Amino acid sequence: MKRDTTNDTPAPKRRSFPKAFLLSLPMMLLTFAMLTGGKPISGPSQIVAFLLTYCFLNLFFFLMIYTGKTDRWRAPVFSAYSVAFVISFVTHLLEARGSMALSEANILRAQAPFCHMVIPMTLIPGALTKTIIFPGTIVGSFASISSMFILWIGASLSLGRGFCGWTCFFGGLEDGFSRLIKRPIIKRINPVFTYLPWALLLFIVLTSAAALSPVYCTWLCPFKAVTEYVQVISVKTLVQMVIFVTLFAGLVVTLPILTKKRIQCGLFCPFGAFQSLTNKVTGFAIRIDPDKCVKCGRCVRSCPTFSLDDESVASGGSRISCMKCGRCVDLCPKGAIHYHVKGTEPRSSGTLQRLLFLYPAFLFLATMGGGFFKDAIVRIIKLAATGHMI
Protein backbone atom coordinates (compact mmCIF):
# COMPACT_ATOMS: atom_id res chain seq x y z
CA MET A 1 0.00 0.00 0.00
CA LYS A 2 1.30 3.47 -0.90
CA ARG A 3 2.24 5.56 2.15
CA ASP A 4 0.78 9.00 2.32
CA THR A 5 3.83 11.16 2.98
CA THR A 6 2.00 14.45 2.65
CA ASN A 7 -0.08 15.92 5.39
CA ASP A 8 -3.32 15.99 3.47
CA THR A 9 -6.28 17.14 5.49
CA PRO A 10 -9.69 15.74 4.62
CA ALA A 11 -11.77 17.96 2.33
CA PRO A 12 -14.39 19.89 4.39
CA LYS A 13 -18.04 19.23 3.65
CA ARG A 14 -19.62 22.22 5.35
CA ARG A 15 -23.19 23.15 4.76
CA SER A 16 -24.65 26.59 5.08
CA PHE A 17 -25.89 27.45 8.56
CA PRO A 18 -29.59 27.77 7.61
CA LYS A 19 -29.49 24.50 5.67
CA ALA A 20 -27.78 22.69 8.54
CA PHE A 21 -30.33 24.09 10.97
CA LEU A 22 -33.23 22.94 8.81
CA LEU A 23 -31.73 19.47 8.52
CA SER A 24 -31.29 19.35 12.32
CA LEU A 25 -34.82 20.52 13.05
CA PRO A 26 -36.49 17.10 12.83
CA MET A 27 -33.96 15.77 15.35
CA MET A 28 -34.78 18.65 17.69
CA LEU A 29 -38.44 17.77 17.52
CA LEU A 30 -37.83 14.05 17.90
CA THR A 31 -35.49 14.43 20.87
CA PHE A 32 -37.92 16.81 22.54
CA ALA A 33 -40.67 14.23 22.23
CA MET A 34 -38.50 11.30 23.34
CA LEU A 35 -36.85 13.09 26.27
CA THR A 36 -40.08 14.43 27.71
CA GLY A 37 -42.07 11.29 26.92
CA GLY A 38 -45.00 13.59 26.25
CA LYS A 39 -45.21 14.58 29.92
CA PRO A 40 -44.51 18.00 31.48
CA ILE A 41 -41.30 18.34 33.48
CA SER A 42 -41.56 19.50 37.05
CA GLY A 43 -38.98 20.52 39.61
CA PRO A 44 -36.10 22.97 39.08
CA SER A 45 -33.36 20.32 38.96
CA GLN A 46 -35.38 18.25 36.49
CA ILE A 47 -35.91 21.28 34.25
CA VAL A 48 -32.22 22.19 34.37
CA ALA A 49 -31.25 18.60 33.61
CA PHE A 50 -33.65 18.41 30.70
CA LEU A 51 -32.49 21.70 29.18
CA LEU A 52 -28.79 20.84 29.51
CA THR A 53 -29.35 17.40 28.02
CA TYR A 54 -31.51 18.67 25.19
CA CYS A 55 -29.13 21.48 24.23
CA PHE A 56 -26.04 19.28 24.52
CA LEU A 57 -27.46 16.55 22.30
CA ASN A 58 -28.87 18.85 19.64
CA LEU A 59 -25.81 21.08 19.56
CA PHE A 60 -23.61 18.10 18.74
CA PHE A 61 -26.04 16.78 16.16
CA PHE A 62 -26.15 20.21 14.53
CA LEU A 63 -22.34 20.26 14.44
CA MET A 64 -22.36 16.84 12.77
CA ILE A 65 -24.61 18.18 10.04
CA TYR A 66 -22.94 21.60 9.75
CA THR A 67 -19.30 20.43 9.61
CA GLY A 68 -19.88 17.16 7.79
CA LYS A 69 -17.82 15.35 10.43
CA THR A 70 -19.37 12.36 12.13
CA ASP A 71 -16.96 10.71 14.56
CA ARG A 72 -15.57 14.02 15.81
CA TRP A 73 -18.93 14.96 17.33
CA ARG A 74 -20.21 11.44 18.02
CA ALA A 75 -17.29 10.59 20.28
CA PRO A 76 -17.81 13.22 23.03
CA VAL A 77 -21.53 12.46 23.23
CA PHE A 78 -20.86 8.72 23.31
CA SER A 79 -18.23 8.97 26.04
CA ALA A 80 -20.34 11.37 28.09
CA TYR A 81 -23.24 8.94 27.78
CA SER A 82 -21.16 6.12 29.27
CA VAL A 83 -20.05 8.28 32.18
CA ALA A 84 -23.64 9.39 32.78
CA PHE A 85 -24.76 5.76 32.66
CA VAL A 86 -22.24 4.72 35.32
CA ILE A 87 -23.27 7.61 37.60
CA SER A 88 -26.97 6.95 37.14
CA PHE A 89 -26.81 3.16 37.36
CA VAL A 90 -24.54 2.99 40.39
CA THR A 91 -26.52 5.58 42.33
CA HIS A 92 -29.73 3.69 41.57
CA LEU A 93 -28.17 0.49 42.92
CA LEU A 94 -27.04 2.26 46.07
CA GLU A 95 -30.51 3.71 46.54
CA ALA A 96 -32.30 0.43 45.92
CA ARG A 97 -30.13 -1.95 47.91
CA GLY A 98 -27.37 0.05 49.56
CA SER A 99 -24.58 -1.55 47.56
CA MET A 100 -23.28 -2.15 44.04
CA ALA A 101 -22.97 -5.80 44.99
CA LEU A 102 -25.61 -8.32 44.04
CA SER A 103 -26.51 -10.38 47.11
CA GLU A 104 -27.61 -14.00 47.10
CA ALA A 105 -31.13 -12.82 47.87
CA ASN A 106 -31.13 -10.50 44.83
CA ILE A 107 -30.12 -13.46 42.66
CA LEU A 108 -32.67 -15.88 44.11
CA ARG A 109 -35.39 -13.28 43.73
CA ALA A 110 -34.20 -12.56 40.14
CA GLN A 111 -33.72 -8.83 40.70
CA ALA A 112 -30.65 -8.09 38.56
CA PRO A 113 -31.07 -5.56 35.69
CA PHE A 114 -30.56 -7.31 32.36
CA CYS A 115 -27.57 -6.38 30.24
CA HIS A 116 -27.34 -6.85 26.45
CA MET A 117 -24.00 -8.69 26.78
CA VAL A 118 -25.91 -11.74 28.09
CA ILE A 119 -28.07 -12.10 25.00
CA PRO A 120 -25.90 -14.57 23.01
CA MET A 121 -25.60 -16.86 26.04
CA THR A 122 -29.34 -17.01 26.62
CA LEU A 123 -30.39 -18.08 23.15
CA ILE A 124 -29.63 -21.82 23.13
CA PRO A 125 -30.91 -22.50 26.67
CA GLY A 126 -33.89 -20.24 25.97
CA ALA A 127 -34.77 -22.13 22.80
CA LEU A 128 -34.33 -25.59 24.31
CA THR A 129 -35.61 -25.10 27.86
CA LYS A 130 -37.82 -21.98 27.57
CA THR A 131 -35.93 -20.47 30.50
CA ILE A 132 -33.57 -17.52 30.71
CA ILE A 133 -30.29 -18.22 32.47
CA PHE A 134 -30.12 -14.77 34.06
CA PRO A 135 -31.41 -13.62 37.49
CA GLY A 136 -33.58 -10.83 36.14
CA THR A 137 -37.25 -9.98 35.87
CA ILE A 138 -38.94 -11.14 32.70
CA VAL A 139 -41.13 -8.06 32.34
CA GLY A 140 -42.22 -4.97 34.21
CA SER A 141 -39.15 -3.64 36.00
CA PHE A 142 -36.15 -1.44 35.19
CA ALA A 143 -34.08 -3.16 32.49
CA SER A 144 -36.30 -6.22 32.48
CA ILE A 145 -35.21 -9.08 30.24
CA SER A 146 -38.02 -8.64 27.76
CA SER A 147 -37.62 -4.88 27.43
CA MET A 148 -33.88 -5.17 26.81
CA PHE A 149 -34.50 -7.81 24.14
CA ILE A 150 -36.91 -5.42 22.39
CA LEU A 151 -34.31 -2.63 22.50
CA TRP A 152 -31.68 -4.98 21.14
CA ILE A 153 -33.95 -6.17 18.31
CA GLY A 154 -34.78 -2.59 17.36
CA ALA A 155 -31.13 -1.53 17.42
CA SER A 156 -30.04 -4.57 15.41
CA LEU A 157 -32.64 -4.09 12.68
CA SER A 158 -31.88 -0.41 12.28
CA LEU A 159 -28.14 -0.12 13.01
CA GLY A 160 -26.62 -3.59 13.00
CA ARG A 161 -23.25 -3.38 14.71
CA GLY A 162 -23.70 0.37 14.75
CA PHE A 163 -25.12 -0.56 18.17
CA CYS A 164 -21.54 -0.76 19.42
CA GLY A 165 -20.61 2.63 17.99
CA TRP A 166 -23.73 4.56 18.98
CA THR A 167 -25.69 2.78 21.69
CA CYS A 168 -23.59 0.56 23.94
CA PHE A 169 -23.30 2.25 27.29
CA PHE A 170 -19.97 0.48 27.93
CA GLY A 171 -18.28 1.33 24.64
CA GLY A 172 -18.11 5.03 25.36
CA LEU A 173 -15.73 4.46 28.29
CA GLU A 174 -13.20 2.83 26.03
CA ASP A 175 -13.81 5.30 23.25
CA GLY A 176 -12.95 8.07 25.68
CA PHE A 177 -9.80 6.39 27.00
CA SER A 178 -8.62 5.71 23.45
CA ARG A 179 -8.54 9.42 22.72
CA LEU A 180 -6.50 10.59 25.71
CA ILE A 181 -3.10 10.74 24.03
CA LYS A 182 -2.17 12.14 20.66
CA ARG A 183 -0.19 9.25 19.19
CA PRO A 184 -0.33 5.53 19.92
CA ILE A 185 2.53 3.99 21.87
CA ILE A 186 1.71 0.45 20.77
CA LYS A 187 1.24 0.59 17.02
CA ARG A 188 1.23 -2.99 15.85
CA ILE A 189 -1.21 -5.63 17.02
CA ASN A 190 -1.22 -9.16 15.65
CA PRO A 191 -4.30 -9.46 13.39
CA VAL A 192 -4.93 -12.97 14.79
CA PHE A 193 -6.46 -11.30 17.84
CA THR A 194 -9.29 -9.92 15.73
CA TYR A 195 -10.64 -13.48 15.74
CA LEU A 196 -10.57 -13.76 19.53
CA PRO A 197 -14.07 -12.27 20.00
CA TRP A 198 -15.45 -15.02 17.73
CA ALA A 199 -13.60 -17.73 19.58
CA LEU A 200 -14.76 -16.30 22.90
CA LEU A 201 -18.33 -16.09 21.57
CA LEU A 202 -18.27 -19.76 20.58
CA PHE A 203 -16.74 -20.70 23.92
CA ILE A 204 -19.15 -18.78 26.15
CA VAL A 205 -22.24 -19.77 24.16
CA LEU A 206 -21.32 -23.44 24.44
CA THR A 207 -20.20 -23.44 28.05
CA SER A 208 -23.18 -21.32 29.14
CA ALA A 209 -25.50 -23.79 27.44
CA ALA A 210 -23.76 -26.72 29.14
CA ALA A 211 -23.67 -25.10 32.57
CA LEU A 212 -27.02 -23.28 32.25
CA SER A 213 -25.27 -20.25 33.67
CA PRO A 214 -23.99 -17.04 31.97
CA VAL A 215 -20.28 -17.81 31.95
CA TYR A 216 -19.12 -14.44 30.56
CA CYS A 217 -21.00 -12.49 33.25
CA THR A 218 -19.80 -14.79 35.99
CA TRP A 219 -16.13 -14.85 35.03
CA LEU A 220 -15.05 -12.53 32.22
CA CYS A 221 -16.98 -9.26 32.04
CA PRO A 222 -14.66 -6.25 32.59
CA PHE A 223 -17.59 -3.91 33.18
CA LYS A 224 -18.54 -5.62 36.41
CA ALA A 225 -15.86 -3.39 37.90
CA VAL A 226 -17.99 -0.28 37.29
CA THR A 227 -21.54 -1.55 37.50
CA GLU A 228 -22.77 -4.49 39.49
CA TYR A 229 -21.12 -7.69 40.67
CA VAL A 230 -21.83 -10.66 42.92
CA GLN A 231 -21.09 -9.99 46.59
CA VAL A 232 -17.56 -11.04 47.56
CA ILE A 233 -18.18 -13.65 50.25
CA SER A 234 -15.91 -16.52 49.25
CA VAL A 235 -12.61 -17.33 47.54
CA LYS A 236 -14.46 -17.96 44.29
CA THR A 237 -16.17 -14.55 44.28
CA LEU A 238 -12.89 -12.88 45.26
CA VAL A 239 -11.14 -14.51 42.28
CA GLN A 240 -13.99 -13.35 40.05
CA MET A 241 -13.63 -9.76 41.28
CA VAL A 242 -9.88 -9.80 40.71
CA ILE A 243 -10.48 -10.99 37.12
CA PHE A 244 -13.09 -8.26 36.50
CA VAL A 245 -10.88 -5.47 37.80
CA THR A 246 -7.82 -6.75 35.93
CA LEU A 247 -9.71 -7.02 32.65
CA PHE A 248 -11.19 -3.56 33.10
CA ALA A 249 -7.84 -2.01 33.90
CA GLY A 250 -6.19 -3.77 30.97
CA LEU A 251 -8.75 -3.93 28.20
CA VAL A 252 -10.83 -0.82 28.88
CA VAL A 253 -8.31 1.63 30.30
CA THR A 254 -4.66 0.83 29.67
CA LEU A 255 -4.60 -0.79 26.24
CA PRO A 256 -7.03 1.71 24.65
CA ILE A 257 -4.82 4.55 25.95
CA LEU A 258 -1.66 2.93 24.59
CA THR A 259 -3.07 1.82 21.23
CA LYS A 260 -5.75 4.46 20.63
CA LYS A 261 -8.07 1.59 19.71
CA ARG A 262 -11.13 0.09 21.34
CA ILE A 263 -9.37 -3.07 22.48
CA GLN A 264 -12.20 -4.60 24.53
CA CYS A 265 -14.70 -4.00 21.71
CA GLY A 266 -12.46 -5.05 18.86
CA LEU A 267 -10.40 -7.85 20.34
CA PHE A 268 -12.40 -9.34 23.21
CA CYS A 269 -16.12 -8.60 23.41
CA PRO A 270 -18.10 -11.69 22.36
CA PHE A 271 -21.30 -9.66 22.15
CA GLY A 272 -19.55 -7.47 19.57
CA ALA A 273 -18.78 -10.54 17.47
CA PHE A 274 -22.39 -11.66 17.80
CA GLN A 275 -23.64 -8.19 16.92
CA SER A 276 -21.43 -8.19 13.80
CA LEU A 277 -23.82 -10.77 12.35
CA THR A 278 -26.60 -8.20 12.47
CA ASN A 279 -24.63 -6.08 9.99
CA LYS A 280 -26.16 -8.44 7.44
CA VAL A 281 -29.64 -7.24 8.38
CA THR A 282 -29.20 -3.49 8.62
CA GLY A 283 -29.66 -1.34 5.57
CA PHE A 284 -26.41 0.57 6.05
CA ALA A 285 -22.76 -0.10 5.27
CA ILE A 286 -19.46 1.69 4.78
CA ARG A 287 -18.25 1.88 1.17
CA ILE A 288 -14.94 2.90 -0.33
CA ASP A 289 -14.90 4.40 -3.81
CA PRO A 290 -12.00 2.71 -5.64
CA ASP A 291 -11.72 5.60 -8.10
CA LYS A 292 -11.00 8.07 -5.32
CA CYS A 293 -9.04 5.81 -2.97
CA VAL A 294 -5.26 6.35 -3.14
CA LYS A 295 -4.53 3.47 -0.72
CA CYS A 296 -2.80 5.72 1.78
CA GLY A 297 -3.81 3.36 4.60
CA ARG A 298 -4.99 6.11 6.94
CA CYS A 299 -8.40 4.47 7.40
CA VAL A 300 -6.82 1.10 8.22
CA ARG A 301 -4.55 2.69 10.83
CA SER A 302 -7.30 4.73 12.42
CA CYS A 303 -10.17 2.21 12.61
CA PRO A 304 -10.81 1.66 16.35
CA THR A 305 -12.09 -1.91 15.96
CA PHE A 306 -9.73 -3.25 13.27
CA SER A 307 -12.61 -3.38 10.79
CA LEU A 308 -10.56 -2.19 7.85
CA ASP A 309 -7.60 -3.95 6.32
CA ASP A 310 -5.86 -3.95 2.94
CA GLU A 311 -8.12 -6.72 1.67
CA SER A 312 -11.38 -5.03 2.66
CA VAL A 313 -10.23 -1.66 1.30
CA ALA A 314 -9.37 -3.33 -2.01
CA SER A 315 -12.84 -4.88 -2.13
CA GLY A 316 -14.46 -1.52 -1.48
CA GLY A 317 -15.80 -1.75 2.05
CA SER A 318 -15.26 -2.59 5.68
CA ARG A 319 -15.22 -5.96 7.44
CA ILE A 320 -18.29 -7.41 9.12
CA SER A 321 -17.19 -5.98 12.49
CA CYS A 322 -17.66 -2.35 11.37
CA MET A 323 -19.42 -0.20 13.98
CA LYS A 324 -20.12 2.65 11.55
CA CYS A 325 -18.56 5.17 13.95
CA GLY A 326 -17.55 7.35 11.01
CA ARG A 327 -13.89 7.81 11.90
CA CYS A 328 -12.65 6.52 8.54
CA VAL A 329 -15.21 8.70 6.76
CA ASP A 330 -13.91 11.78 8.59
CA LEU A 331 -10.22 11.02 8.09
CA CYS A 332 -10.11 9.97 4.44
CA PRO A 333 -8.10 12.71 2.67
CA LYS A 334 -9.82 12.03 -0.66
CA GLY A 335 -13.39 11.67 0.59
CA ALA A 336 -13.42 8.14 -0.80
CA ILE A 337 -15.25 6.61 2.18
CA HIS A 338 -18.90 7.22 2.82
CA TYR A 339 -22.00 5.79 4.43
CA HIS A 340 -23.90 3.64 1.97
CA VAL A 341 -27.47 2.40 1.74
CA LYS A 342 -27.40 -1.23 0.65
CA GLY A 343 -29.00 -1.96 -2.69
CA THR A 344 -28.16 1.45 -4.13
CA GLU A 345 -25.38 2.26 -6.58
CA PRO A 346 -22.00 1.77 -4.86
CA ARG A 347 -20.71 5.11 -6.06
CA SER A 348 -23.86 7.13 -5.46
CA SER A 349 -23.64 10.30 -3.43
CA GLY A 350 -22.95 9.73 0.24
CA THR A 351 -24.67 12.91 1.49
CA LEU A 352 -28.26 11.69 1.57
CA GLN A 353 -27.16 8.25 2.66
CA ARG A 354 -25.14 9.69 5.53
CA LEU A 355 -28.19 11.62 6.71
CA LEU A 356 -30.34 8.50 6.44
CA PHE A 357 -27.89 6.74 8.77
CA LEU A 358 -27.23 9.64 11.15
CA TYR A 359 -30.87 10.12 12.00
CA PRO A 360 -31.60 6.65 13.43
CA ALA A 361 -28.13 6.33 14.93
CA PHE A 362 -28.17 9.64 16.76
CA LEU A 363 -31.83 9.26 17.72
CA PHE A 364 -31.06 5.93 19.40
CA LEU A 365 -28.06 7.45 21.17
CA ALA A 366 -30.06 10.49 22.28
CA THR A 367 -33.04 8.48 23.52
CA MET A 368 -30.99 5.82 25.36
CA GLY A 369 -28.47 8.33 26.63
CA GLY A 370 -30.91 11.15 27.33
CA GLY A 371 -32.44 9.42 30.32
CA PHE A 372 -29.04 8.71 31.84
CA PHE A 373 -27.81 12.25 31.13
CA LYS A 374 -30.80 13.78 32.88
CA ASP A 375 -30.55 11.50 35.87
CA ALA A 376 -26.80 12.03 36.22
CA ILE A 377 -27.22 15.82 36.09
CA VAL A 378 -29.99 15.68 38.74
CA ARG A 379 -27.67 13.60 40.95
CA ILE A 380 -24.82 16.06 40.46
CA ILE A 381 -27.06 18.98 41.32
CA LYS A 382 -28.20 17.09 44.42
CA LEU A 383 -24.58 16.42 45.33
CA ALA A 384 -23.72 20.12 45.01
CA ALA A 385 -26.77 21.17 47.01
CA THR A 386 -26.88 18.55 49.76
CA GLY A 387 -23.49 16.83 49.78
CA HIS A 388 -24.75 13.43 48.65
CA MET A 389 -26.11 11.92 45.47
CA ILE A 390 -28.60 9.45 46.89
Partner 1 sequence: MNRLRSVMGYTWAGLAVLIILVTFIGNGYLSRRLAAATGVTVSPWITGGEVAKTSDYGTYRTVVHRPVFDGLVGERSEGFVQVDYEPGSGPPAVVEERVDFKRDKGIDFLVRLDTRAGTATVKDLAGTVVAIDHVYRVGKGWAVRIALRRRM
Partner 2 sequence: MEAFLLGLSNGGVCLAYCAPVLVPCLLAGSGGGIPKAVGITAGFLGGRLLGYLVFAVAAWIIGRALLGNAGARESIIGLAYMMLSVMLVVYAFTAGRSHSCAATGMGALMLKLSEHQGLSPLLPVAAGVATGLNFCPPFLLAMAASAEKGSLSYSIFFFFMFFLGTSLFFVPAPFFGLLRSHAAVRTVGRLCAGLVGAYYFFSGLIMLTGGIKSL
Closest to 277 measured CA to CA, from 120, 114, 74, 117? 120
Q: Shortest gap between Cβ of 234 and partner 1 (angstroms)?
A: 10
Chain centre to alpha carbon of residue 201: 18
Q: Shortest gap between Cβ of 312 and partner 2 (angstroms)?
A: 13
Q: Judge contact between 121 and 215, C-beta under 8 A.
A: yes
Identify which of residues 207 and 231 has a Cβ nearer to partner 2 in the complex.
207
Identify which of residues 107 and 294 has a Cβ nearer to partner 1 in the complex.
107
Query: Among partner 2, partner 1, none, what binds residue 47 when CB lies within 5 to 8 Å by partner kind?
Result: none
DSSP-derived 3-state class of residue 130 = coil
Query: Among partner 2, partner 1, none, what binds residue 108 when CB lies within 5 to 8 Å by partner kind?
Result: partner 1
Does 56 bind partner 1 (CB under 8 A)? Our answer is no
CA distance 1 to 196: 26
Identify which of residues 108 and 192 has a Cβ nearer to partner 1 in the complex.
108
Identify which of residues 148 and 204 has a Cβ nearer to partner 2 in the complex.
204
Q: Shortest gap between Cβ of 193 and partner 2 (angstroms)?
A: 9
Closest to 31 measured CA to CA, from 77, 68, 84, 96? 77
Neighbouring residues of 23: CB distance < 8 A, sequence distance ≥ 6: 15, 65, 355
Does 364 bind partner 1 (CB under 8 A)? Our answer is yes
Binding residue for partner 1 (CB under 8 A) from 210, 242, 314, 384? 210
CA distance 27 to 172: 22
Query: Among partner 2, partner 1, none, what binds residue 206 when CB lies within 5 to 8 Å by partner kind?
Result: partner 2
Closest to 184 measured CA to CA, from 269, 326, 303, 321? 303
* Contact code string over 163-202 relative to partner 1, x by CB under 8 A: ----------------------------------------
Q: Which residues of 216-249 are buried (b: 16+ CB within 10 A; e: fewer)?
A: bbbbbbbbbbbbbbbbeeeeeeeebbebbeebbe
Can you list the pairs that 106-111 forms with residues at least 24 positions away whose Cβ atoms lie under 8 Å? 106/135, 107/135, 107/230, 108/135, 109/135, 110/135, 110/136, 110/137, 111/135, 111/136, 111/137, 111/141
Does 207 bind partner 1 (CB under 8 A)? Our answer is no
Q: What is the DSSP letter of 40?
A: -
Query: Among partner 1, partner 2, none, what binds residue 342 when CB lies within 5 to 8 Å by partner kind?
Result: partner 1
Q: Judge contact between 291 and 281, C-beta under 8 A.
A: no
Q: Shortest gap between Cβ of 210 and partner 2 (angstroms)?
A: 5
* Contact code string over 73-112 relative to partner 1, x by CB under 8 A: ------------------------------xxx-xxxx--
**Interface segment toward partner 1; rule CB under 8 A; list 139-147, 246-254, 303-311, 325-333:** 139-147
Does 250 bind partner 1 (CB under 8 A)? Our answer is no
Closest to 245 measured CA to CA, from 216, 223, 214? 223
Q: Which residues bind partner 1 (CB under 8 A)?
A: 30, 34, 103-105, 107-110, 124-126, 128-140, 144-147, 149-151, 153-155, 157-159, 209-210, 212-213, 282-284, 341-345, 353, 356-357, 359-360, 363-364, 367
